[in-house]
Structure 1
Amino acid sequence: MAQKAAKVLAVRNGAVLRRTHLISAALHFNFWMLHFVFQRPRSLKPYFFLAMPTLAIQYYLDRMGRPTYNEDGSLRSAGEDLNATGLTEYMWDVLYWTQGCMVAACLFNDRAWWLWAVIPIYSVYAAYTTVMGVKKGFSGMGGGDAGQEADAPKSKTQLKKEKRGSSVKYR
């Protein structure tokens, strides 16, 4: 029962990585089959420029999340959590979106690679909302709006005292 959470994480990471590698291999194989066997006219420049970097992402996720075992079969390290938020989540989004673009390029034509332009646009949006959230968070730390105290919601006790006519001192 020792290290149950680590063992569960190791099994989950192994399953996620296995599934991801199989899907990716099938998509790349399908793309190459359509290109060479069926002689569908498609350029390989967008493929190498847009799909190949996802192999680097897959390699990084594999190195980061792959569980390692001792020689006797016991778990040495479960790997990092592949469901973590932040950069790991963004890498999964890029990977899945690229796989979707690859399916669209296989079904339609090379113009489907233009769907990949959503990734940089989303990156700019995510960075903007993060910066604005941090800026809003820092505004209430003393140097921000001095007029926020007047707009602050009043408690029931404060409202009752004001209704009775008692003088209420706000700090």
Structure 2
Amino acid sequence: MRRSALSHWETSSLTRVLQPARPRKLAKVPFVELADGRLQGVVSSGSDIARVYVSSVAVGDYAFACSTNNNRPCGGARGSFCNHIRALIGEAVLQYGAERVARYLKVDPADDLNAAGVTNAMCATRPSAAAGGTAAAAPVFSRFLRHLSYLELQASTGPLPEMQWFPPTREVA
């Protein structure tokens, strides 16, 4: 394959961004991901602009955890999903689509394939707070901060040193 036949994406340090299932507002839930066997993300506090919560729901048993970025437990996550976890589920459905979120979490949401249906199906199983649930908070918050740092970079076709683990593109003459 000659250089001219390579696409723009194969010759630059930029990556294609997949569009969300539906547009979402990033002010309430700036970071959401399906990773490490959990739906997890960062949710802004409704009362303090300087506080965020790291919330997660585990695949299968729906064990949940919610704590501040300083590892203080959420006061609303006592025996059931707090508002932060509900907001996280809602934004995950907007980002990935209800079908993908339900499939990842192994939820069977009866007929309501939307955020409320997914949440209600999980709540019907009476999930419990995850033992040691705050252990996942640090890596999730760290990934969120890392994503924020990429927003500060100028668009460039040059390599990013921290991305050197990607295999180089071979050119065939």
What TM-score do the two structures reach when normalised by structure 1? 0.25
Q: Which has the higher helix share?
A: 1
* Structure with bigger RCO (C-alpha 8 Å, 6+ apart): 2
Q: Which has the higher strand share?
A: 2
Query: Structure 2 length normalisation: TM-score?
Result: 0.24
Larger Rg belongs to: 1
